[in-house]
């Protein structure tokens, strides 16, 4: 298994509070991604990073920000959590971005509940 | 818009049957296509990756095919077992991030 950890694995918070999720990799992969998974919607991209301090928005980026100050860590922040952000969040990594041989590997997920 | 569709959403079969899961996508200019397995409450496990230049990939009882011109991929599972019960996700790479279908939930009944 690829060396990807996510913390926390479970979190319950209240509406309006800030929340930060952490993804840590030991593979030295350049690309890192944050997806959310919701019933009826599948996995959708929130943000991704193609290098330290280089990030781009995904399909569902509103209400989320990200930061990547080191190759191994990619942080996802909900500035003011809302109930619609209750979801399972997955981090993923890949070595390259536009290669036909490149595989994406996923972390174990973080289950976030916003009350 | 680049989209991935999986049909059916759910499938129930008796143990021992051979089965096919379908995936279709809207733009043939792909880098690759990946099939994943997800058990309830768990993360994603990569099963097979098919490069854009390939027609199929095999791993054990699994065989995935790719037809870019028609925008279709199939995942064939031979001699299904109860342990194959899971959600199977198809994901296409047009650029760095993957675009996922909503998955097919498979139940194999003993």
How does pLDDT run along chain B (110 residues), one tens digit per residue? 899 999 999 999 999 999 999 999 999 999 999 999 999 989 999 999 999 999 999 999 999 999 999 999 999 999 999 999 999 999 999 988 999 999 999 999 99
State the Cα–Cα distance between residues B97 and B100, nearest whole angstrom: 10
- Measured between CA atoms, how close is A77 to chain B, in angstroms? 19
pLDDT confidence of residue A1: 58
* B8 prior amide bond cis, ω within 30: yes
Q: Does B5 touch chain A (CB under 8 A)?
A: no
pLDDT confidence of residue A102: 84
Which residues of chain A are within 8 Å of residue B95 when distances are taken between CB atoms?
Answer: 97-98
With CA atoms as reference, the chain A residue closest to B47 would be A103
- Measured between CA atoms, how close is A21 to chain B, in angstroms? 16
End-to-end CA distance of chain A: 34
- Measured between CA atoms, how close is A50 to chain B, in angstroms? 8
Q: How confident is the model at residue A15 (pLDDT cuts 50, 70, 90)?
A: very high
Which residues of chain A are within 8 Å of residue B42 when distances are taken between CB atoms?
Answer: 108-109
State the Cα–Cα distance between residues B9 and B68, nearest whole angstrom: 22
Mutate to test the interface with B, among A104, A106, A113 (most CBs of B within 10 A): A104
With CA atoms as reference, the chain A residue closest to B91 would be A43
Residue B31 and residue A98: Cβ atoms within 8 Å?
yes
Of B93 and A96, which is predicted with more confidence? Answer: B93
User: For A100, which DSSP code?
Assistant: T
* B39 prior amide bond cis, ω within 30: no
- Measured between CA atoms, how close is B41 to chain A, in angstroms? 9
pLDDT confidence of residue B54: 95
pLDDT at A2 exceeding the cut of 70: no
CB distance B51 to B72 below 8 Å: no
Kindly report, residue by residue over A19-70, the tens digit of the pLDDT.
999 999 999 999 999 999 998 888 999 999 999 999 999 999 999 999 999 9
Residue A98 and residue B91: Cβ atoms within 8 Å?
no
The mean of the pLDDT values for chain A is 94
Residue A58 and residue B97: Cβ atoms within 8 Å?
yes
Helices (H), B1-110: none
Look at residues A30, A37, A53 and name the one whose alpha carbon lies nearest to residue A108.
A37
B48 contacts: CB under 8 Å, gap ≥ 6 = B34, B35, B57, B58, B59, B62, B64, B75
């Amino acid at each position: 298994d690829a060396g990807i950890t996510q913390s926390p694995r479970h979190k319950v918070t209240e509406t309006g509070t800030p929340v930060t999720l952490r993804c840590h990799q030991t593979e030295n992969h350049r690309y890192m991604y944050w997806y959310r998974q919701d019933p009826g919607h599948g996995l959708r991209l929130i943000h991704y990073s193609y290098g330290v301090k280089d990030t781009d928005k995904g399909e569902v980026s509103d209400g989320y920000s990200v930061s990547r100050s080191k190759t191994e860590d990619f942080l996802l922040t909900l500035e003011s959590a809302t109930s619609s952000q209750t979801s399972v969040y997955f981090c993923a990594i890949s070595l390259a971005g536009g290669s036909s041989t490149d595989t994406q590997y996923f972390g174990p997920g973080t289950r976030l509940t916003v009350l | 818009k680049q989209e991935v569709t999986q049909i059916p959403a759910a499938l129930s079969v008796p143990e021992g049957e051979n089965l096919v899961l379908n995936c279709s996508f809207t733009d043939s200019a792909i880098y690759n296509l990946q099939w994943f397995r997800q058990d309830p409450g768990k993360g994603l496990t990569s099963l097979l990756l098919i490069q854009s230049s390939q027609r199929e990939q095999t791993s054990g009882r699994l065989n995935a095919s790719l037809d870019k011109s028609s925008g279709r991929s199939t995942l064939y599972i031979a001699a299904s077992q109860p342990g194959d019960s899971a959600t199977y996700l198809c994901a296409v790479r047009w650029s760095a991030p993957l675009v996922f279908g909503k998955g097919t939930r498979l139940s194999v009944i003993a």
